Amino acid sequence: MHKTLEKYAEISMDIASNFINATPTSIATNETFAKNFTNKKLIIVGDDLMSQFGGTAFHKGIMNLIH
């Protein structure tokens, strides 16, 4: 999966698109990718958004909404 996500990030740079990574694969925190996106004035964020936003709290909120 890591190589696939890296390819998506490369394609995103090639087409001048910002990139949001919601998987555990380190793309936004990878120095090379971060530098390349910054040089192209593109936004790159993410790297496991679930843990950054508090997966348990988020999950409980969704479950309460469904209930």
Give CA–CA dist 33/12, Å, rounded: 11
Q: Domain total for the chain?
A: 1
Q: Decide if pLDDT at 52 tops 60.
A: no
Per-residue pLDDT averaged across 3-30, rounded? Answer: 92
> What is the span of the domain harbouring residue 57?
2-66
Per-residue pLDDT averaged across 28-49, rounded? Answer: 90
pTM over 0.85: no
Give the H/E segment covering residue 8. helix 2-14
